[in-house]
Structure 1
Amino acid sequence: MHNMIVHQLFKSACVAGFVLARPSLELERRSDNPLAGHGSLRVFDVNNFNSLSTGQAPDMYDIFAAEKDGCFGAIRDHSQCTPKKRNHNIIAQNRMKTSENIMKVPILAGTYAGDQEGSGSQFYTNQLDSLWGLLAATLEYEVYFDDDFDFAKGGKLPGVHGGDRSCSGGYKARGNDCFSTRLMWRENGEGEAYLYLPMALQSDNFCEKCSGYSKGTTCDEMTYCSLNRASFSFIKGQWNKIKMQVWMNTDGNQDGYWNLFHNEKLVMNENSLTYRIDDSVPLSGMFFSTFFGGGSSDYAPDYDTHIDFKGFRLTAGII
């Protein structure tokens, strides 16, 4: 049954124009060393946007098979994701390599939290849902901040999501619904993981690493985890390479993994996470999300700005 599902995903992804590699081993097999020795299936590989012209608005359905629900600031299947927050994403030339096109996400002054017109962009993909029983996935991308970019108080960057699309915006995951693994930049470009997990199911040792809570806050009182703040920094004026590896926990156990690489250096390594209580919450796909915030106006930029992206690759399995 597993091989049939992999074949169906491989066939449908090829039709959509994604670059794929067949898995060499069963993807769901777990071992004593779960981050090595497993097959992988390339779901999408968007190294650049050279198939589009500069000034063109990229269609997220054509490029990433993005769903319409939860979108803003992006085109999905030649229509607006939501009527109140129009597309602002645009194809532009990579100033570091003029032969390459990238995706620019403009952000208007005074906007934050994705709530206003021009505040950024967000969409979801769900290709991994088709791989029933999948335990591991790897997401890679590159992000660029101009030399004069003002990090202000912070903002969001893409990650992986699973289950339904509730795990953002202050939602408290229960373990039978969803999770997400976005990143954040903070003041001066300090980086962190911004994880929406069922916090009541995490270990006390893990919860102690989560910033933004008063001393003595227990796991079951937490909504999300700002993990390992300032463990690395985003660098302005160059491409920042991101790779995150997510390995799901077995039913009800604190044995899930989360690894993060910044510019090919391992900057976070967690091996005792609970993403879910059972496999009713699957690995789903990429959660593209970028805006300033936080949910208050003091996060907003003082002037119009933008964030650039390229090098997107989603893989079923660990690479």
Structure 2
Amino acid sequence: MSEIKTQVQFVDIDEDMAGQRIDNFLRNQLKNIPKSVIYRILRKGEVRVNKKRVKAEYKIAAGDIVRVPPVTISVQDDQPAAPVSTNLHKVAELESCIVYEDDHMLVLNKPSGTAVHGGSGLKFGAIEALRALRPQARFLELVHRIDRDTSGLLLVAKKRSALRHLQAQFREKTIQKYYYALVMGKWDTKCKAVNAPLLKNDVNSIVRVNPQGKPSETRFKILESFKEATLVQASPITGRTHQIRVHVQYMGHPIAWDDRYGDQRFDAYTSKFGIKRLFLHAANIKFVHPGTEKAMELNAPLDKNLENALSKLRQA
């Protein structure tokens, strides 16, 4: 057994921090501390705002002074509290994947196989790695998520105001995202969009087209046709779990190397061209910058494995 010890902190709340619940604020301040401990110190009154006790639902305001008490917890030696440190080479590699950064936000070209955050048995994710790369950053939060095996553009807010601004754009569907996907067979040139409601199974997280599901729309454009495959551009209008993957499967054209919704025959075919991962890549995103209010467009190139595979498909 070993211990994690934190020091007492006095945090002056500014406009950018204001508006969040105190429990969420503490979870950002005490990154390696379990939620149960955070709620316990709140119940005991060890957390003070302006020298007064507060409940978990209290929303901090600009000008508040928050006392974050010292915390000591025991952890198993075979489960280190900061697992990112055991993946330093992977963390360092993410530095070269940053395609844009300023005072408001950071944009990552996330590699396939890297989860956006830790959990479900995973030691760490992209957000934990970015926090390790930017230890001086007071705030780093995911704006949205993409699947672990999907590569491409991932927005990360460096200010709470930027997070609110960008998430509002997602809710209002003003952000445009474009993915590249290699799908099985010949995509119908007349199929420009798929409108099919999606329902997620809460037990196994499998998503299916179901009349009882949530309205879902994805727009498609053919980029390149091959003998037994098609490279399509997919633009999700709604943001459902596994939306693109399920919509193409529903149309009879699953994505190469999709372990949930794919076709092993197509995987065997594409492996001849060197493909060994899900061929789904978030290549382009358009949004309004949360600080300047100017329109922005960012692009992320395909990795070398997928580019080489496309070259071999063209030759074939």
Instruction: Kindly indicate which of the two structures has a greater share of residues assigned to strand.
Output: 1
More helix as a share of residues: 2
The structure that has the greater radius of gyration is 2
The structure whose RCO (Cα within 8 Å, separation 6+) is larger is 1
Name the TM-score, length of structure 1 as normaliser: 0.27
Instruction: Tell me the TM-score normalised to structure 2 length.
Output: 0.27
